A and B are shown apart, each in its own frame.
Chain A
Amino acid sequence: MRKLLAIALTGGLLVGMLVPAQAKPAQVFEDIAGDAGNQDSGVPGFDQLGFDLIGGTIERKGANLDFTVLHAAMPPVNQPPEKVRFMWGFAVDGTSYRVTVKSADVGKPNPVAQSDTDRIGKVDPQGFFRLEGDCGSQVVGALQAVHCPTIGYLTGAFDAAAKTISFSVPLKLIKAKPGSVISGGGGDAVSICAICWTTHVGERSLNTTNIDSAAQSGTYKIPK
């Protein structure tokens, strides 16, 4: 009996190790330092502008998932130019979403759909953290443009001292629940990149101009 209990415990432990429900921040991607520039070839200065990805974690905090992205350096918010944006495509139990982060923005409609007009007329020197889903792409002239409709705007922060950007995604917005698995995204949520800093051109053409890219190799199982 004791032997059976030990086997059962061991089995349970192994299963738990395969897909553990993590209560602490889980590292889900890593990227080498010094490769920010032109398509992951390092160019001096790009790291100091906060484009050099180092790694990322996910952690449940109450009704939210907190995503944190560590960089080699991070200037204060509104220093990274309006032209660039950080993107992270992830999936919740197989359904893909994307978060787009900018540190400065003047509102405009989506260039492809001429929709998403919620930001028109707004000047936001503090940028935004935007949750997007149901991504698609379409051919516009000679370009294949990616369009991810907005689901909602998130709470987030640029932290120059910690060299991070972080944002909280409400579980409700991504239809996640305890036990849901957060993995790398798929489809057009990651057709520009899985995780990257990229220019606006990335959204306009799948011939992208990414500055620094990474891939989510780890998964995160939402704990109770």
Chain B
Amino acid sequence: MRKVAALLAAALLVGSLTAQTASAVTAGPSPGGMSSDNVEWLSHIPLSVDGVGGRVVDGYFYTNDQHKVMIFDLKDPVNPQLVGQVLMPQEWLYSREDIDTNGKIMVVPNTVTASADLQPSAGTNAAYIIDVEDKANPRIISKVVGGAQHTLSCILDCKWVYGSDGIIIDVRNPLKPKLVDKEWGEGLPAGGGHDVEEIAPGYVLTATQPIQLLDVHNPLKPKLLAMGRNTDGRFIHTGRWVDLNDKFLLMAGETNNRVRCNETAAAFMTWDASTWRKTHTFNMIDEYRMVNGTYADGNPAVNQVGCSSHWHEAHPDFHNGGIVAAAFFEHGTRFINVTGTGKIQEKGWFMPAAGSTGAVYWVTDEIVYAVDYNRGIDILRWKG
């Protein structure tokens, strides 16, 4: 107890001494952890076990963990109500990331068992289609044995699904989804990777190396529109782009199991997307990494899952620059400003107590849900 009091006192001291940081904010403790003075920890939902996936659609927050999919009503975003859940055992060590839904059906992979719906099936994995129209009674309506990959993403209003490693699932009839005998990456520079994201109807950004923009209006015959490559061949984990006309791709890598930060730790990156229609290329502008610290300064002395970027999401008002909330495991949630030239500056942070943040989601223009592998869901207020 004395040790904690000393740490908190040190936090205040160090916070006052580190006013030269780009954000010029001071650290402060809260029951949830430590944060800069422009980030407020509001509350905590403990109901999640290794949770990371989420999606905000039409007033509901859909999130999953190792055992279940949960649906929260966002009428009061600082006090979300759990209105429905689907029991879906079981991933053994980590849950699936970046789950996707159009608010009617949800697509959730399980890479360990084809019996996660408690219906015995041969096979070691499956893609599950969940009917989520009745928020209080979501239910698994079908599955595709052998259809799971690390992430599954909705294409064209969830009529099709792309897997992170190339599979295509036809979900035009959600009761009878079909694994297509063709992969989206056939003939492309990257046939698979960590994730894909539909940026606009019929346009997909791939979190692959190289990064690719695909026209998928015909999902069985995607066309390469543009691409960008890192010369160091780094792993690309996340790709976000607020729309096809925004100047910046918002990308991130991942480096797990690194207890200490260094210059090769995965970074949050900005990429120039202002000329892709002419040049058919994307080029990296800037990158931003975490450093280790003293806890009191908002940086853990060591990391658990890793010193790494992971999932991020742009502020609803992001347009050719603005704020991005980004999850950095034990470094928590970092609020990053992307300037009009694509340069990256950290503006605020929340480092959870005993946490490891996997993903962050803007629920309103000031409320962020930080889904934490250890803690559950932290509800934060970004005060700018």
- Which chain A residues lie closer than 8 Å to B189 at the CB level? none
- Which chain B residues lie closer than 8 Å to A62 at the CB level? none
Is the contact region of chain B dominated by helix, strand, or loop, or is it mixed?
A: loop
**A204 (CB) vs chain B CBs: closest residue:** B92
* A114 and B295 contacting across the interface, CB-CB below 8 Å: no
The contact of B353 among A34, A46, A120, A140, by CB within 8 Å, is A46
Does A80 make an interface contact (CB < 8 A)? Answer: yes
Does B68 make an interface contact (CB < 8 A)? Answer: yes
| A104 CA to B65 CA, complexed, in Å | 14
Selecting from A5-13, A71-79, A149-157, A170-178, the interface stretch reads A71-79
**Residues from 193 to 252 in B contacting A, C-beta threshold 8 Å:** none
Task: Please encode chain B, from 361 to 384, with 1 for each CB lying within 8 Å of some chain A CB and 0 for all others.
Answer: 000000000001111100000000
| A51 CA to B353 CA, complexed, in Å | 12
- Which chain A residues lie closer than 8 Å to B7 at the CB level? 44
Does B38 make an interface contact (CB < 8 A)? Answer: no
* B46 and A111 contacting across the interface, CB-CB below 8 Å: no
* B67 and A106 contacting across the interface, CB-CB below 8 Å: yes
Does A123 make an interface contact (CB < 8 A)? Answer: yes
B153 to chain A, nearest CB (A): 26
Task: Please encode chain A, from 156 to 185, with 1 for each CB lying within 8 Å of some chain B CB and 0 for all others.
Answer: 000000000000000000000000000000
Does A224 make an interface contact (CB < 8 A)? Answer: no
**B351 (CB) vs chain A CBs: closest residue:** A45
How many residues does chain B have at the interface if contact means C-beta atoms less than 8 Å apart? 36
**B33 (CB) vs chain A CBs: closest residue:** A45
How many residues does chain A have at the interface if contact means C-beta atoms less than 8 Å apart? 44
* B44 and A79 contacting across the interface, CB-CB below 8 Å: yes
| A120 CA to B86 CA, complexed, in Å | 10
- Which chain B residues lie closer than 8 Å to A94 at the CB level? none
Does B89 make an interface contact (CB < 8 A)? Answer: yes
Q: If the complex has contacts A73-B4, A82-B376, are A49 and B48 also in contact, measured as CB distance less than 8 A?
A: no
Does A137 make an interface contact (CB < 8 A)? Answer: no
**B44 (CB) vs chain A CBs: closest residue:** A79
The contact of B1 among A72, A107, A111, A200, by CB within 8 Å, is A72
| A103 CA to B375 CA, complexed, in Å | 12
* B353 and A103 contacting across the interface, CB-CB below 8 Å: no
Q: If the complex has contacts A114-B118, A123-B82, are A82 and B48 also in contact, measured as CB distance less than 8 A?
A: yes
Q: Which of A80, A82, A104, A121: most chain B CB closer than 10 A? A: A82
- Which chain B residues lie closer than 8 Å to A51 at the CB level? 354
Does A43 make an interface contact (CB < 8 A)? Answer: yes
Q: If the complex has contacts A45-B33, A108-B67, A200-B66, are A83 and B49 also in contact, measured as CB distance less than 8 A?
A: yes
* A83 and B374 contacting across the interface, CB-CB below 8 Å: yes
Q: If the complex has contacts A45-B353, A81-B374, A143-B92, are A108 and B87 also in contact, measured as CB distance less than 8 A?
A: yes
* B93 and A81 contacting across the interface, CB-CB below 8 Å: no
- Which chain B residues lie closer than 8 Å to A123 at the CB level? 47, 82, 85
* B4 and A82 contacting across the interface, CB-CB below 8 Å: no
Does B164 make an interface contact (CB < 8 A)? Answer: no
* A45 and B354 contacting across the interface, CB-CB below 8 Å: yes
Does A138 make an interface contact (CB < 8 A)? Answer: no
Besides the known contacts A45-B295, A103-B46, A106-B87, 11 further A-B residue pairs in the complex with CB atoms under 8 A apart: A44-B7, A45-B354, A47-B1, A47-B4, A79-B31, A83-B48, A106-B70, A108-B87, A111-B90, A141-B112, A205-B93
